[in-house]
Structure 1
Amino acid sequence: MSFFQPHGLLAGFHSEAPEPLLPELQSIGEQWFPMRRQISSHAHKAWELYLQLDGVSRWRSRRGTIELKPGHLYAAPPGVEHRLIESLSTKHHFVFAIIDLDAISARLPGVASAWKLGEFITAEGAEHLEAPFRQLVREASMRQPHRAAGMRAALDAVVIEATRLLEAAAGALPGARLLTLHPAVQLAQNLIDNHPEKPWPLIELARLAGLSPNHLVNLFTHAIGMSPRQYLLRQRIDRAKHQLGTSDARITAIALDLGFSSSQHFAKAFARIAGCSARAWRERGMATVSRSAPRRSTANRSRRR
């Protein structure tokens, strides 16, 4: 197994064979690219799943050129060439995984039918993939008890969510509905979950949900246990914890990317919710990794793959 940071990244990592007990996960990474970054033409022996989290990128394959925006999934089948033409924004952030779908299908019967061998797959509305992808990155980047089992569970969740997305896009499944929450609460929660960096003033959430601000607050607080504003703050802090533990991005940059008005505002909110400073959180994670995680190569790599 190897962990390294390819040359030219703003932040992030790449890992090859991150867990010997989970050979179906061949590679994984989370990376922040500078503007105009390119990746030369390449192919893999297994499926590559690429989820755009922030920014815009343009890819080319035999199908032509596609433009990916936040919440877009791009899946490249085994053996098919593809390349990143360029990243079109200053905040190009993504996660990816190279997976052996045949091995995963052996324990998840039924998922393989949605993945057509030899065909590129692109899908919008993949925001729900972010949570399992983040969990997979977290499990892969830290050494902790039950690591292989945790990575396997997170990987299966990624594949299941991606399969649902593909089947829904093909009309094989109806869109998912959550019946335990009021539709307005579910809408507001999804908006915050998908874009916690936005300010989401209450009047805007209420307008989109079709309710008065007071009614939305009452419904949301009863269902979720906190107000929309409190929920937004906790989502931002959760994202910050993830980035602090899995990237070397500057703390100020993380704070501003997540919508905080200043590093001081972020520091106070983080300490109040997490119980320690952001720097202490990062150092605690680094100490855990340095004691027991696989060592990352210090050599620069010119390509991500």
Structure 2
Amino acid sequence: MVFYHDKTLDVIYRDTSQMRVLNLAEAGLPEVPVIACTRFDHYVVPYALHRHPDCFEIGLCLRGALTLVSQGVENRILPGDLLVNKPDDEHSLKTIPAGTKYYWMMFRDPESCETFLHLPPGVAHDLHARLNALPSRITADTARVKQAFADLFIHYDRPPGPYRTFCLTGACIHVLMALIDCVPRTIVPVHVKGVEPIIASMRAHPEKDYPLDELARSARLSPSLFTARFKQNTGLPPSHFLIACRLEEAKRRLTSTDMPLTRIALDLGFCAPQHFSTSFKRAFGLTPRAWRAQNRAKPGSGG
């Protein structure tokens, strides 16, 4: 397998069972320099802060979790969440634990291209404006985006020729349509008044128990509908979201207190310290003890 490093974009192209990082310029679409499906079987060292001049980058987390730092703001990207990096955004993936899998794509700014996916200039201008209005993290029903990415790779694997280029052009447009169309559901989700206070409570007090029946009753929804609305807002079912909140609180306690690991684990509702340690390492790539040592060392570094 031949690997090619594009130094301008700082992308290494490859096509393996674990990493498909492909250049659509070879298929007649120079405005889409990268489509990728990446799976990490081991913890990856965080990327340095960088930009992609004249390129947007979007990603969809499929499994595991990512920590995106964009313009100085840290965002936790969970399964089903989208990330969006604009051309001028300084960004980095700070945490990529083992088991993480995600789709991602880079494409030229529609306004910087002579032609973008064969669209009229007015359409490209509108697309540029809509893309620049997107937040760095999108939590919504992203099933259409996931399917659009899957279709993109199906069409890439077609025999070379004009019809393949036609199919890839339509698939790229479909990805962007699905991306833009999912945002209103993030801004004005259904039944948000019943779900938002519960989400806020879980973030503020992750040590508490939150039985599904009680949560649904509080939101005046059936358990199944509550779970669907909750997942629409957070990208996760309630039980998984609560674990994510507990792990975030564990990070805070590990960094800012001297509490023993066992106490942190039990106080935050983990059934055993080993369960806590395993969950923490799966999410952040380090054991709680290693995380504490690494983050405690930072304030004193350099003298």
Instruction: Give me the TM-score of the superposition, normalised by structure 1.
Output: 0.49
Instruction: Give me the TM-score of the superposition, normalised by structure 2.
Output: 0.49
Larger RCO, structure (CA 8 Å, separation 6 or more): 1
